[in-house]
Amino acid sequence: MGRFNAAKIYVSGLVQGVFFRAYTRNMARSLGLKGWVRNLPDGRVEIYAEGEEDALKKLVEWCKVGPPHAIVEDVKVEWCEYSGKYGSFDIIY
């Protein structure tokens, strides 16, 4: 088992209205990550994910491409301290 970490990820571009949150949830769950994803009023998608560092890095790389129909312009990552307080990965509103 690898080192545990957390990340806040901000994705900008055409990332709302293209199922970005649903695809992110599915990808994060497949990687064994916990946390959430939500749309922001400014048009970006915000992701908070916790889990193994390698899985987090894979999620960040996936976010740079995103799902079909998304046009990702930028991905910003803020590495955070692992809290362990999330039991699943969900879409929040």
21 is catalytic: yes
Torsion sign (Cα): 59, 14, 47, 33: negative
Which residue among the candidates 5, 26, 29, 39 is catalytic per the annotation?
39
CA separation for the pair 66, 80 (Å, rounded): 22
Which residue among the candidates 5, 21, 25, 44 is catalytic per the annotation?
21
Tokens representing 65 are 């491409």
Active site residues: 21, 39
